[in-house]
Amino acid sequence: MREPISHALSQDADEEPLRDALKRQPDNVDAAIPLARALLARKSPGEALEVLDTVLLAAPGNLRALNAKGVVLDHEGRHHEAQAMYRQALATEPANPMLLNNLRLSLAVGKTELGNASPQTQTDGRHALVRSK
């Protein structure tokens, strides 16, 4: 019983310096992306989206933040919204391989889900968030 509790506490402790960095510098993508990744792993995608939205308010059009938000949206099965994020970023940098790859994955996963009788959230997006360093 102690191990899961201590593990959960250490996750929150790991997040605290990232949250502090974002308070000091709201456009700090280097803090926002690992925090969003941790929140997504903790099954708090809404919180991850809030973190990324805050960064995008401070740094609108930041490619890495747009990509990370797209990944979280994909993870949540919100593929059309994710694709809009990737396309917005691609308008700035059309040949970006990370964005192109994530857009292709989103389109493919979205089509697969449409073909399923009971759509389920796909987990493929988690890997893309790792690539958004």
Q: Of the candidates 113, 118, 64, which has an alpha carbon nearest to the alpha carbon of residue 51?
A: 64
Degrees, nearest 5: CA angle 35-6-48? 20
Task: Indicate whether 9 pLDDT > 70.
Answer: no
This prediction's pTM: 0.78
CATH number for 63: 1.25.40.10
How many independent structural domains does the chain possess?
A: 1
Q: What percent of the chain has pLDDT over 90?
A: 71
Confidence at residue 24, expressed as pLDDT on a 0 to 100 scale: 97
What is the average pLDDT across 11-37?
92
Q: Which domain holds residue 82?
A: 2-131
